[in-house]
Structure 1
Amino acid sequence: MNFLDFEKPIAELEGKIEELRHLSDSDEINIAEEINRLQLKVDKLLRATYSKLSPWQKSQVARHPDRPHLSDYIARLVSDFTPLAGDRSFADDKAIIGGLGRFRGQSVMVIGHEKGHDTESRVLHNFGMAKPEGYRKARRLMEMADHFRIPVLTLVDTAGAYPGVDAEARGQAEAIARSIETCLDIRVPLISVIIGEGGSGGAIALAAGNVVLMLEHAIYSVISPEGCASILWRSGDAAKDAAEALRLTAQDLHALEVIDEIVPEPLGGAHRNPEVTISTLGDHIERSLKTLCLIEGGVLRARRREKFLAMGKVGLS
């Protein structure tokens, strides 16, 4: 397992446990009691550490390389998944994966960012940073779902839209704006989930849903802490301060009513038990989907628009 900087004491204990297990296997020595004692210590330390994570530490957890990605959620939650490629204009952007499938018996259109699991797949998926054709593909699939009255499920995990010159030349800002417009315009249920990073317009392009869920240790912000630090402090060393100021944690965003529900993660983060994380998220999605499917399309659209317009209102005294 890959351990984060603040997890060093936990890593040392788990290293000792692993050594004892190998010793027990090789010498047939019964040291189960010592292993159990150390495991209880690890659990206690994990609980203490993860109960008081700083925003910067949560950013590290949200970016953990072993954290489940879009492809993991699709594999475990969506049966008969059929990927649909291309924006019918320029190319197929592999940073965004979308397609039809069945979520617990319900037909759904699934769209999301894929970061990749190793060097080769990360390069293939451009680290989850979509170009204009990716957002135009997302828009095309949402419109298709709307035409056939199929609910849409989006999973967000991106540091932000790709900032390259070629992306800007092909209309990155316009593509993101059109994708947001489509999110707000469709008449079918739209459930969005922040599963890791929710960075900038690249995230909101898929996240303007009737219900926005967010994993407990995910982050969601207008800009990355490093990007904010480089602009405001002129130094990447201020990323920790930027993370504090951005209010990017699930707990902060729930209090601000930017998201609707926090989905709990296993002790130590989603990367420690992906199966439980994915199953728990599936339960939350199923509950929200059942409620939304009972609401008429025009009402769904009106409520979605009102919800996001309300976030920009400032009370006058």
Structure 2
Amino acid sequence: MAKKTAWEKVLAARAAKKIGVDDLINGITDDFMELHGDRAYGDDPAVYGGIGTMDNIPTTFVGIRKGANLNTNIERHFGSAEPDGYRKALRLMKQAEKFDRPIVTLINTPGAYPGVDAEYHGIGYTIAQLILQGMQLTVPYISVIVGEGGSGGALALAVGDCVWAFEDSIYSVLSPEGYATILWKDPSRMKEAASVMKLTPDELLSEGIIDRIIPEANTVDGFERFRNDLVKKIRELNALSKDDLVSKRLARYRNF
């Protein structure tokens, strides 16, 4: 099979058949329990999180998800989380630290919601807090780019001890359409933009932005493989002292 071009990777990452974050979480856990609310303002449905076990390891999962149809996409702003969603994510991650649970974040977002209300409710500050406090969590923290990983909206949940990406995913500072519009004043050059942005998993791996490319998980076998990979990595990270865990995480991001 011919290798996909950068633009084909963009289309694959955005495809409707891409596994949903909620389906993925429920496919790899035995008894997932969703948790709601940021305890301050609301409960953004774009952020899906809670607790589930993998091989008897209680784990906190936090995902940014798109909708399964037009109505749920509208409800979730097509995967663009609002401030209360990011506050919910931070609440669940701090709760995980309190109870010494590992954290897995699963990301599929074109970017944070850009609405005026989101600005008024502190979306920039909330994303910054997720990055700042995420760096200092004393429990294992694995970040996975499932589909689109766009801008600060994705980075908010992508400062784990390791960052993995599915084969059909992208991770970049903005969309190819945005890149072409800003730099060339011509959004129709989006395919050309994708080819120079180094947003594909292969390019991200070669640049050290991600640590591993993982196969798509959309079958029972795929779920099992992904689950086993996560459990193996969590056990590896749990073998480190809390001080070593945090220092290694900080060292990873200082390289950038």
- Shorter-chain TM-score tier: over 0.9
Task: State yes or no: 1:98 paired with 2:43.
Answer: no
Task: State yes or no: 1:229 paired with 2:180.
Answer: yes
Superposed, 1:287-298 pairs within 5 Å as 287-298=232-243
Q: How many angstroms does 1:165 deviate by? A: 0.8
Task: State yes or no: 1:60 paired with 2:11.
Answer: yes
Question: What's the secondary structure of 2:67's corresponding residue?
Answer: coil
Deviates more, 1:273-282 or 1:176-185: 273-282
Contact 2:28-2:226 within 8 A present in 1 as well: no
Which of structures 1 and 2 has the bigger CA Rg?
A: 1
Aligned counterpart in structure 1 of residue 151 of structure 2, from 174, 185, 200 = 200
Task: State yes or no: 1:173 paired with 2:135.
Answer: no
Deviates more, 1:282-291 or 1:192-201: 282-291
Q: How many angstroms does 1:112 deviate by? A: 0.6
Coordinate RMSD, CA, aligned: 1.3
What 5-or-longer segments of structure 1 have no aligned partner? 1-46, 312-317
C-alpha distance in 1, partners of 2:161/2:9? Answer: 25
Contact 2:22-2:63 within 8 A present in 1 as well: no
Aligned counterpart in structure 1 of residue 30 of structure 2, from 56, 60, 79 = 79
Q: How many angstroms does 1:126 deviate by? A: 2.0
Tell me the TM-score normalized by structure 2.
0.96
Q: How many angstroms does 1:172 deviate by? A: 1.2
Question: What's the secondary structure of 1:206's corresponding residue?
Answer: coil
Q: How many angstroms does 1:125 deviate by? A: 2.1
> Identity of aligned pairs, percent?
40
The aligned residue for residue 282 of structure 1 is: 227
Contact 2:205-2:213 within 8 A present in 1 as well: yes
Q: How many angstroms does 1:118 deviate by? A: 1.1
C-alpha distance in 2, partners of 1:105/1:213? Answer: 23
Task: State yes or no: 1:150 paired with 2:77.
Answer: no
Task: State yes or no: 1:309 paired with 2:221.
Answer: no
Deviations 1:163-221 (CA, angstroms, capped at 9, x unpaired): 11111111111110001112101100001110101000000100100011111121000
What 5-or-longer segments of structure 2 have no aligned partner? none
Q: How many angstroms does 1:113 deviate by? A: 0.7
Aligned counterpart in structure 1 of residue 74 of structure 2, from 98, 120, 123 = 123
Task: State yes or no: 1:188 paired with 2:154.
Answer: no
Tell me the TM-score normalized by structure 1.
0.78
C-alpha distance in 2, partners of 1:280/1:62? Answer: 20
Question: What's the secondary structure of 2:156's corresponding residue?
Answer: helix
C-alpha distance in 2, partners of 1:140/1:281? Answer: 26
C-alpha distance in 1, partners of 2:16/2:222? Answer: 15
Contact 2:135-2:249 within 8 A present in 1 as well: yes
Task: State yes or no: 1:137 paired with 2:88.
Answer: yes
Deviates more, 1:252-261 or 1:72-81: 72-81
Deviations 1:267-308 (CA, angstroms, capped at 9, x unpaired): xxx6xx544443332232122112111111121111111101
C-alpha distance in 2, partners of 1:275/1:203? Answer: 27
Contact 1:111-1:153 within 8 A present in 2 as well: yes
C-alpha distance in 2, partners of 1:79/1:278? Answer: 12
Contact 1:67-1:274 within 8 A present in 2 as well: no
